[in-house]
Amino acid sequence: MSSTITPILELVQLSKTYQSASKPLQVLQDISFSVQPGETVSIVGPSGSGKTTLLGLCAGLDRASSGYVALNGIQLQNQSEDALAKIRNETIGFVFQNFQLLPTLTAIENVMVPLELKKGKNIRQRALELLDQVGLADRWHHYPSQLSGGEQQRVSIARAFANQPKILFADEPTGNLDAETSEKIEALLFNLNRAAATTLVMVTHDLELAGRTNRIIKLKGGRLIADETKKEELIP
């Protein structure tokens, strides 16, 4: 890949320390790597290694203690909260382990939220098309409480792709699902991601799922201990 292409994500000596009553807690230390457009990347490591914290920093949901994150060529650390929100809405899709759907909104209304924030056109039609892509066209009027965990995650994935994001962050996307449902969600996530040519950065404890991405970044104790790229393009 040409070195002149701007990475979609770049981390430079990124560190994060939380101040607690007793002593500072360093969660991440001197993390540096970059991700090119179209890559699929898994971030793995034991519990407490800093994976979810790292993902939050990459998405501009939290601020680093030192170092910086550049997303689509824009450094995040000096941006206002309003500017960060705009960058997230224009650049990022996010899939959470616990779905993060708004309970008072129907499936279609949840998918419509990012489209409305972006003031898109044909919002309802676009949301319906996305629900159809994830196999929920007939459940558009159901509330999250009326949907199974797998169905809620399908709505979450439809919402994540609503804005045609340049990069998709997924935090344990199958962590709350049974094995059979997980397989279906994994296939859906990779198929939609490939069709949209979106960059995927995923935190997972599932090494089999991580093996479906073309790159695996390993954390331990808040440090990057390995960054392995597969030479061949894998088809999930």
Residue 3 lies in a domain: no
Q: Is residue 235 part of a domain?
A: no
For residue 178, give the CATH number of its domain. 3.40.50.300
Residue at 121 is within a domain: yes
pLDDT in tens, 8-33: 999 999 999 998 878 888 899 999 99
> How many residues can be counted in the chain?
236
Q: Is position 176 within any domain?
A: yes
Tens-digit pLDDT profile for residues 194-229: 999 999 999 998 888 999 999 999 999 999 999 999
**3-state SS of the chain: helix, strand, coil percent to 5?**
35, 25, 40
**Looking at the 3D structure of the chain, how many domains does it have?**
1
| Res. 42: pLDDT tops 90 | yes
pLDDT tens by residue, 68-105: 999 999 999 889 999 998 899 889 999 988 889 999 99
The SS3 of residue 131 is helix
CB 200 within 8 A of CB 216: no
Residue range of the domain that includes 155: 9-229
Q: In sequence order, what are the residues at sequence separation of 6 or more whose Cβ sits closer than 8 angstroms to the Cβ of residue 17? A: 24, 25, 26, 27, 65
Global confidence as pTM: 0.90
* Residues 139-153: tens digit of each pLDDT: 999 999 999 999 999
Question: What pLDDT, on a 0 to 100 scale, did the predictor assign at position 234?
Answer: 44
